[in-house]
Amino acid sequence: MRSVVAFGQLKQAALYFDRVLPVAFRRLAGTGRDIVADFPEPVPSRALINIVFDTLPATESERYSQLGRIVDSWDEFASRARPYRQSTASSSVDDSYADLAAAYLSNATSSETEPIRKHFATYAATLGIRGAAVLLPATGEESSSNVEDPLIRVFGMELINTASASWEQIIEVRQDGESRRRLQRLRAFLDEKYAGKSLAFVEDDLASRLDEYDQARRKHGFDTATGSLSALVDAQSLQAAASAGIATALLGGPWVGASSAAIVELGKVAIEFAKRKRAMVDWQASHPLAYLVELQRVSNESCWD
């Protein structure tokens, strides 16, 4: 399981990490149908519970209880972090918590308390998260310098456009068992291939691998189709029975006039096609980049608009 404390881009983080603990909380607001947390991007209560606890509340009482735990933990953290924050009237600094991100980067200390990273760890631990990485804002020096985690590097590339995705769609992906298995394969691949590599290397190599995947997918699909067509053309009994209506049968029509031998031969071709198609589907599903490819496909469809 991978967990992260995130300053922003929560939808992106939710697609790559099992548990996401937001920073920069401002307020709770009722919408009539739900309670929405402002981080400052609005997050409905069920979505917030899902990304923090990697589950969905079973009852209304459970929802309120889990939401209360998140707010209480944040309040305690905000109080402990106050000495590390700059005193400023600028709402933009306050809203983005840029000063808190800078304090984390330098692991600032206060005369009154411990180093700031200790408080981040405590914040996560109060919600059952241990060993979490901290995902800093995606702009400025902190986004490009010393991050060694290959998953955070890939996340920083913003491969998937989530700007138009709803939280319901994000949670649907997170709850899908096959998506989670693909994400696990992606993590293993990233850890093996990109640990300690520069961001430029990761971007170039991953783009190349995605292109190779697409070319192989197209070729595999072409071979599947042409192989099945070749088997069909080479079937002598089918050629002999073509005038007896076998062409109509191939198009889904009635089997009028088809001999028993032709039907058997057609069945063999159908089985061969099914085997080839299954092999292609299995190859695509087991590919280490299948999770990224599927997210890209879904994000380009109208349901994300």
d(CA 37, CA 253): 57
Within a 10 A sphere around the Cβ of 268, how many other Cβ atoms? 14
Same domain, 138 and 217: no
What pTM was computed for the model?
0.71
Count the alpha carbons within 13 Å of 241 in the hemisphere toward its beta carbon: 24
Q: Please check whether residue 105 lies inside any domain of the structure.
A: yes
Same domain, 132 and 214: no
Single residue among 143, 177, 194 that ends a domain in this structure: 143
Q: Please check whether residue 192 lies inside any domain of the structure.
A: no
Q: What is the pLDDT of residue 145?
A: 47
**Domain enclosing residue 258, as ranges:** 204-304
Pairing of strands 42-44, 35-38: antiparallel
Same domain, 244 and 132: no
Distances (CA, A) of 8 to 41, 97, 169, 182, 261: 8, 10, 18, 24, 65
Q: Please check whether residue 281 lies inside any domain of the structure.
A: yes
Q: What is the pLDDT of residue 182?
A: 87
Report the number of distinct structural domains present in the chain. Answer: 2
Same domain, 111 and 213: no
Same domain, 106 and 9: yes
Same domain, 108 and 233: no
Single residue among 127, 143, 159 that ends a domain in this structure: 143
Q: What is the pLDDT of residue 95?
A: 57
Q: What is the pLDDT of residue 255?
A: 46
Q: How is residue 20 written in tokens?
A: 């996401």
**Cα–chain center distance at 281:** 20
Same domain, 138 and 211: no
Q: Please check whether residue 211 lies inside any domain of the structure.
A: yes
Single residue among 121, 143, 165 that ends a domain in this structure: 143
Q: What is the pLDDT of residue 125?
A: 93
Q: Please check whether residue 130 lies inside any domain of the structure.
A: yes
Q: What is the pLDDT of residue 134?
A: 85
d(CA 186, CA 181): 9
Same domain, 99 and 7: yes
d(CA 116, CA 31): 34
Q: Please check whether residue 157 lies inside any domain of the structure.
A: no
Q: What is the DSSP letter of 37?
A: E
Same domain, 122 and 244: no
Q: Please check whether residue 91 lies inside any domain of the structure.
A: yes
Tell me the average confidence (pLDDT) per consecutive run of 10 residues in the chain, 305 residues long. 85 90 84 78 91 92 92 90 70 63 84 82 92 72 56 73 84 90 87 82 84 73 61 54 51 51 64 70 77 77 56
Neighbour-count burial for 107-135, b at 16+ CB within 10 Å, e otherwise: ebeeeeeebbbebbbebbebbebeebbbb
Count the alpha carbons within 13 Å of 261 in the hemisphere toward its beta carbon: 9
Same domain, 127 and 223: no
Same domain, 8 and 115: yes
Q: Please check whether residue 135 lies inside any domain of the structure.
A: yes
Same domain, 28 and 132: yes
